[in-house]
Amino acid sequence: MRVADLLQKSEDRFLNAEEIGVLRDFVAGMPLRLQIYKKLRDRELPILQAVADQVERDLPSAAVEDVKKAISSLMLVLRYCAMALLMNSDEAFLKQRILRWLEQVSTAYNLRRINEVIFRHLNQLLSQEFTPPELELLQPLVTTAQVTLIY
């Protein structure tokens, strides 16, 4: 349950024990989510650059403009993943806020093959940069983006 929904539900009453538990879990998880958020923010450029370099190596024939489009999309994906983490939002948030928008770029310019390579390298990099508890929170979001932009 999202915290915002929770607070809305309690507009004319106090939260019950179970709901307080949800809120407590949200607060307890905040330091870790904030830590992932900061790491994503601070490591954005090196991660994206490493992915871009790999794509150029793996797909030397891909048009530079197409790779730029795909990398720009990836940048938005990571930023929205970071936002989703802070708000403890789920994959539905990503789909509605950003993936519907990016999916059309992927289809229109036929970026699927590039995205495939991009996400393969991204996942490798993330598993080097992030700890297992961090990945547990981050990976489902990234995977949702990957699935949407590849298939």
Partner 1 sequence: MSKINVADLISDRPVLANFFDYEAYLRGDLELGLLENRRGDRIVAIPETLIKALYQGLSKETGQAARLVMINCGKWWGKSFYNRFQQSLQEFYGIPLSEMDMLTFVRSLKEYWITHGWGKLEFDPEYRDRGLIIIRTYNSPYSRPLPGEPRPSCFLETGILSAFFSRLAGRELMAVQTTCESLGADCNRFILGIPERLKPVEDWVLSGMTHDAIVQKLVL
* Residues at the contact surface with partner 1, assessed by CB under 8 A: 45, 48-49, 52-53, 56, 64, 67-68, 71-72, 75-76, 80, 96-98, 101-102, 104-105, 108-109
Instruction: Say how many C-beta atoms besides its own lie within 10 A of residue 144's C-beta.
Output: 20
The type of residue at 99 is: L
| Lookup: tokens for 34 | 């904030």
Q: How far is the CB of 96 from partner 1 (least distance, A)?
A: 8
CB nearer to partner 1: pick between 16 and 96: 96
CB nearer to partner 1: pick between 17 and 108: 108
Q: How far is the CB of 105 from partner 1 (least distance, A)?
A: 6
Instruction: Say how many C-beta atoms besides its own lie within 10 A of residue 26's C-beta.
Output: 16
d(CA 151, CA 61): 22
CB nearer to partner 1: pick between 19 and 44: 44
Instruction: Report which DSSP code applies to 81.
Output: H
CB nearer to partner 1: pick between 24 and 100: 100
Q: How far is the CB of 49 from partner 1 (least distance, A)?
A: 5
Q: How far is the CB of 48 from partner 1 (least distance, A)?
A: 4
